[in-house]
Structure formats: C-alpha cells, structure tokens
Amino acid sequence: MSNLEESIVLITSASDNSRKADVVGTGFAFYREDNYTYLLTCAHVVEDVGGKENVLVNDIPAEVLAIGDVKNFDLAVLGVENLNVELFCLTSLSAAENLKFRTAGHFLYGEEKKILLETVEGTLGKKGFARKNHQTVAVWKLLINEGDRLRKGYSGAPVVDLETGGVLGIATDMEKDGREGLAISVEALEKIWPQMPPVISDVIFDYHKLSRLLSEGKWFEANEETARCMLKVARRDKEGTLRVEDIEKFPCGDLRTIDELWVKYSHGKFGFSVQKKIYQSLGGTKEYDEKVYRSFGDKVGWRQGGKWLYDDELTFRLDTHFVGHLPKLPNRTYSWRPSMYTIIRVMYYNRMELTRPAVVFFSRAETCRV
C-alpha cells in the first residue's frame, strides 16, 4: 500500500471570495502520462471551491477533465502538470461488504482553521446504488471504527482496501457526526467520462484473487496469477508477453500492490522488493552484469549447481531456504525483442532466463520505490 498520508492531495480554491478560503477537499492520483497526472475527487468539491476555473491541487492549478452530478455520480477527474505524488491502484469489485478499509482526508482545525490530515479506519457496510437515468453505480456505507470519525473536508478521499491496498471507492458523504459515511465505487469513473482513454480504463483492476491465493499458501497458482495480472495491466494479455518497454512503463501503483501482497503473506520472505534489495546488495544496477546476475540467481535459488532452473523446477513453498525465490514471472512472460509476440521458451546465453527484461524490472521497481 502507498504511504497514504503522503499520497493524498489537498484541494482548495483559487477564488478571491473569502468564503471559499475556508473550503478544503481531498483527492488522490491514479494515473500519470509523462508529467501529466490524473486525479479523482468529488464533483461537489469542485463546486464548493468555486467551480472548474478555481480548483487548486496542492496549490497547483488543475484542469477539470470530467465531472458527474453531485446528486448521483458525485465524482470528478482532474488533470495537473508536474505533480509529484504516488499513484493509487483502482480496484473494481461487485461485492465488498465487510471489507476493512483505511482512508485519510483534510479538515480545518480550531479557530485558526489549520489544515490537518488524519487517517481513519473502518468497515464497508451495506451496498446500495447511485442511479442516474438507466445507469447505476455501487455505493457502500462506511462504518467508522470507534474513536475515529470522518470530517468535513474528507470528500474525495480514497477508500483503500486493507487487504490489497487498492482503492475501492471515493468518500462522498458523512452522517452521524462522521461515525458513518458513504463511498461511491471507482466504476463511476467510466460513467462520468465515456470518452476516457482505454489506457486509463484498464488501470481499474481487481487483485482479490491474487490476495486469496497467497493467503491460502498456493504459491504456484499465485505466481501464475501474478503473471496474468501484470500482462492484463500492461495490456499485453492477448500477446502473452511483456516487452522491455512494457516493463519500463508498468504502473507503479499496481507494482506496489502486487509486491505488498507477496511480502505480506510470505512474512517478508518473497516479493519484488525483497528481490530488488538482494540484487542491489550484490552490486546490481540497471545495467546488465553477467557476474552479478549469476550471483543473484544463486542467492534466490533460480540457479543451482551452476545451472539456471526451469520454471517447473522452482520451489513453490514458503519453507524454501531461499529468500526472494518468488515471485518469478514465467520465462514465457518475457519478450526479448519489441517485435516478438510469440511465447518464448528459448536458451539465451545458455540459460533459461531472459536477463535484460529482468534487470529492467528491478530498475522499474527502484523508480516506483517498491
């Protein structure tokens, strides 16, 4: 899961109207292309700060790319240049009742109206639906843990699944002095933005199957599911391979979510972050070094007796003495050349490992702060 407090953005008004100076809202980033970041907040937050022309995100002027109806699909998409915050992974679910969640939002405190940020936790309650014309989107009750409460200013905050780290919905309303609230599903995104680019619509992904497999200790199946998820996120599921350029652009939010699930259920033994630390401790960089990579293979158990193992020779158990042994994307997942779309099972430099994509992968993990 991302560092929630550091990933949340503050939404305020650029208006000279003194009443707007006391309005704060919350938002979060979910996609980035070059230096342009896409964020989500509530439609009523945009309205409260004075409309589309007055939205500031961390004091940076924002563009309102799409906006829903406050009474129905209370969601807005913002675009900001040169915003350096971590991205959240969006999760699409049909059933989420009783899931534990965490959220964080801004609020004004005291007579001086200091802007504070605070995290609260709770459980998703009963599922309902927001309706507009013939379209419906799931909404959930937010049942806040005793001692915590939502506050005015939390609107637009991400409702983060404690199990997967993915964003289930966006906080839109509160009642009972903040002890309860309402969240709308991220699926509302496609309702308010029908022209949404496919590359953005594909970021909405469900990691609950991977989470379940890992929690049940089904390491082989989880390894395969990891490959399937990554191919789907990279929009390479039809081709069945990841190219170097796909790895270099792999969404950081998804990479962190996958890694955190592996680390969590292996008690710190498996995960991309674990592998990256081992690789770097051996002197590994983004430049491929034959000696270093062989040492890495020996260390994590992908290479034994001086030979690289086939995928089916790996140990898909937690009791292996090799730290960082999993996950290992099957060799068929990597494509050496950008133009190669077929499943690869070849010897490269006499080993069953496509080294350059793997090394690029560790470089991407470093960029994403995994």
Look at residue 204 and give its three-state secondary structure. Answer: coil
| Interatomic CA distance for residues 262 and 234, integer angstroms | 19
Specify the higher pLDDT residue, 252 or 330: 252
Q: What is the largest CA-CA distance in the chain?
A: 73
Average pLDDT, the chain: 86
Asked if the model's pLDDT at residue 50 lies above 60, the reply is yes
Domains and CATH numbers, the chain: 1-205 (2.40.10.120), 208-367 (no CATH)
pLDDT at 184: 95
DSSP state string for 290-326: HHHHHHHHHHHTSEETTEEPPGGGS--STT-S-TT--
**pLDDT value of position 164:** 80
* pTM beyond 0.85, yes or no: no
Asked if pLDDT for residue 162 goes beyond 90, the answer is no
Q: Give the pLDDT of residue 79.
A: 96
Contacts of residue 313, Cβ cutoff 8 Å, sequence gap at least 6 = none
Q: Which class for 188: exposed (0-12), middle (13-18), buried (19 or more C-beta within 10 A)?
A: buried
Residue 120, beta-bridge partner list: 103
**For residues 352 and 336, what is the distance between their CA atoms, to the nearest angstrom?**
13
Please write the tens of the pLDDT for every residue from 335-348.
433 322 223 333 33
pLDDT of residue 350 exceeding 70: no
* Distance in angstroms (rounded) separating the CA atoms of residues 74 and 331: 44
The predicted model gives 321-341 an average pLDDT of 66
Residues composing the chain: 370
Which one, of 43, 208, 68, 44, lies nearest residue 137 by Cα?
A: 68
Q: How confident is the model at residue 25 (pLDDT cuts 50, 70, 90)?
A: very high
**Per-residue pLDDT at 278 exceeds 90:** yes
User: 20, 49 in Cβ contact below 8 A?
Assistant: yes
Give per-residue pLDDT as tens, 198-234.
Answer: 656 556 677 888 988 999 999 999 999 999 988 888 8
- How many other β-carbons are positioned within 10 Å of the β-carbon of residue 9? 24
Q: What would the two tokens of residue 1 be?
A: 């899961």
Q: State whether residue 80 is helix, strand or coil.
A: strand
Q: Are 294 and 303 in contact (CB under 8 A)?
A: yes
